[in-house]
Homo-oligomer: A and B are copies of this chain.
Amino acid sequence: MTQSRHIFFMALAVVGMTTNLLAEEPLPSWNDSAARRAILEYVKSVTTEGSPGFVPVSERIVTFDNDGTLWCEQPMYVQLAFVLDRVQLLADKHPEWRTEEPFRAVIEKDLPALAKLGAKGLTELTMATHAGMTDDEFENIVTDWIRKARHPKFHRPYTECVYQPMLELLAFLRQHEFKTFIVSGGGIEFMRPWAKEVYGIPPEQVIGSSVKLKYELRDGKPVLVRLAELNFIDDQAGKPVGIRQVIGRRPIMAVGNSDGDYEMLEYVTSGPANGSGLIVHHTDAVREFAYDRQSQFGRLDRALTEATSKGWIVIDMQRDWKVIFPASPPSPK
């Protein structure tokens, strides 16, 4: 707990939050809506000794999706923006890419072609830009990019396009001795370099998609080399699998925003502990983006249709959240 708090205060400094999260009123950026009340009630029931829903500290596991749940995933996944930037940067070393799809489409910014990239094309782009280097080298690449890149609509670093109400929810749950995990379809090593600073979530509590690694000696020093081969896709039915493989048991709470989170929500809320499921519904075209059933990124269709019957709490971003993003830091870093 002490450690989590310490990390959390570091995160506050970084994202420049001015609200006092330890004030008596929890979740201060949330309107007093049904969603907020349901969250407070659930946390009270699992943390009150003697309550029928009481859950011991060791079992208080909560899993958060990342894209669209903790940070912005429009107009495209942040990692896709990273991939496109990487292709542009590496294009000089790969003259063959000028005529080879899907690289040509990226280099020429052929938006219609890019929009039609399927899983195969995306995987190819990802492998070409995420493999071949060591784990440390990739971490440096991500760290450098995430510091410099800016969101096209909000003109601020992506790490400041995180949802202030969700930062408060993470902190609130940790105050109640939940262990907070990320369970994302995104690349695990694309999140780890900044997840601790921004969300207070250490690397070992990040679960995501990954490439295979190879242990070898380079100049007599042991390194892990990233191979151009998928190891695990942490999406849809892969999420419960990733959770079980890494955490070893069923969480009691899950938070998502798209059909990619359907199975995680189903798994968590069907357990013996009567777990809680939350869905962020992007309804705010002015302050963020409004999208659901038709969206190319973060499509929310089946999970939205079934939310009521499943007892999942739907968070209406426009109605439930007073602010979307943290205040900007007082001085640019």
Contact = CB atoms under 8 A, between A and B. Distances in A.
A249 interface: yes
A202 to B, nearest CB: 6
A189 B244 CA distance: 10
A287 interface: no
A188 B248 contact: yes
Interface stretch (A12-20, A206-214, A293-301): A206-214
A246 B7 CA distance: 20
Interface SS, A side: helix
Interface stretch (A21-29, A73-81, A147-155, A262-270): A262-270
A58 B313 CA distance: 34
Contacts of A128: none
A58 B248 contact: no
Interface residues of A, number: 42
B263 A245 contact: no
A8 to B, nearest CB: 12
Contacts of A231: 245
A7 B58 contact: yes
A2 B3 contact: no
A224 B241 contact: yes
Contact of A204 (B196, B214, B246): B246
Given A204-B204, A214-B241, A215-B267, 6 more contacts: A3-B58, A179-B204, A204-B248, A206-B248, A215-B241, A222-B263
